[in-house]
Amino acid sequence: MEPHIRSAFDKDLEAVQAMVMKMGGLVEHALLNAAEALDKRDEALAESVRAGDRAIDELEDLIHTECARILALRSPTAGDLRTVLTVMRIVGSLERAGDYAKNLAKRSLVLSQMQVVAGATSSIARMARSVVGLLRDALDAFAARDAVLAEDVRNRDAEVDQMYNALFREFLTHMMEDPRNITACMHLHFIAKNIERVGDHATGIAEQVIYLVKGAMPEAERPKVELAAGIPPGRKD
């Protein structure tokens, strides 16, 4: 590739990767704000998370458009092509994580009209903070091309699974102690499950970083904890 073409291509990639980091920051804030809205029963904050999802979706569309333009005009090969493909996969994971944050906010609006389930929302907030930590580290690994940090994210996902299982048992206890808690605990369970799925997406981003750096996906299975069965009946989100 000619030097001036190489320079233009590098600038294109830098711009796209900057947008990825911006999108990641929006998703992190959405998750934290949604968890705070749930814990504090803050309906205005929950509504702001719902409204803010549009900005996340718009960034995803813009990044995909830019990636398509790079593929069409620059015809990248080898490592450069791997970078573009990795970006496209990462933003797909970020968009899903943003959807889960929006769903959390929607359910928090419903829960704000119900009786409080003691301790449940603060436990969910702790789980959300742990997952945001995974997501932030996965994106930092992408920015730094740090496969070691990405592998650390993969290993830490098991901690999120353990937190989900503990919450599941907590919800069952609340429902058995007081049937009036059943509906609220159903919503809380779906929220916890969605946060656990965000952890899976963070781990998926980490695996894409390993692919980007090493040219191959990790061979070893990621550490996983067997998840508790869902609480029937209910709609999966």
Q: What is the pLDDT of residues 195-234, one digit of tens each?
A: 999 999 999 999 999 999 998 888 777 766 777 765 543 3
Mean pLDDT of 122-127: 94
Q: What is the pLDDT of residues 21-44, one digit of tens each?
A: 999 999 999 999 999 999 999 999
The 3-state DSSP composition of the chain as helix, strand, coil percent (nearest 5) reads 85, 0, 15
Could you confirm whether domain 3-214 is CATH 1.10.10.10? no
DSSP conformation letters of 204-231: HHHHHHHHHHHSS--SSPPP--PPPPP-
Query: Is the pLDDT reported for residue 78 higher than 80?
Result: no
Residue 226 pLDDT: 76
Query: Residue 180's CB: how many other CB atoms inside 10 A?
Result: 13
Which residues, 6+ apart, have CB-to-CB distance to 164 below 8 Å?
A: 127, 192, 193, 195, 196, 227, 228
Residue 1 pLDDT: 54
| Residue from 188, 206, 26, 218 nearest 115 by CA | 188
Residue 125 pLDDT: 95
Question: Which of the residue ranges 62-76, 96-110, 119-133, 221-235 would you say has the lowest mean pLDDT?
Answer: 221-235
The span from the first CA to the last CA of the chain, in angstroms, equals: 46
Mean pLDDT of the chain: 90
Residue 76 pLDDT: 76
Give the confidence band of 68 by pLDDT, cuts at 50, 70, 90: very high
Residue 234 pLDDT: 38
Identity at 228, one-letter amino acid code: A
Domain range list for the chain? 3-214
Residue 228 pLDDT: 73
Q: What is the pLDDT of residues 157-184, one digit of tens each?
A: 999 999 999 999 999 999 999 999 999 9
Pairwise CA distance, residues 183 & 144, whole Å: 44
- C-alpha pair distances (Å), 63 with each of 89, 152, 165, 234: 11, 27, 36, 35
Residue 41 pLDDT: 95
Pairwise CA distance, residues 59 & 36, whole Å: 24
Residue 4 pLDDT: 47
Task: For residue 218, count CB atoms less than 10 angstroms from its CB and return exposed for 0-12, middle for 13-18, buried for 19 or more.
Answer: middle
**Ramachandran bin of 136, using left for φ above 0, alpha for ψ from -120 to 50, beta for the remaining angles:** alpha
Q: What is the pTM of this model?
A: 0.90
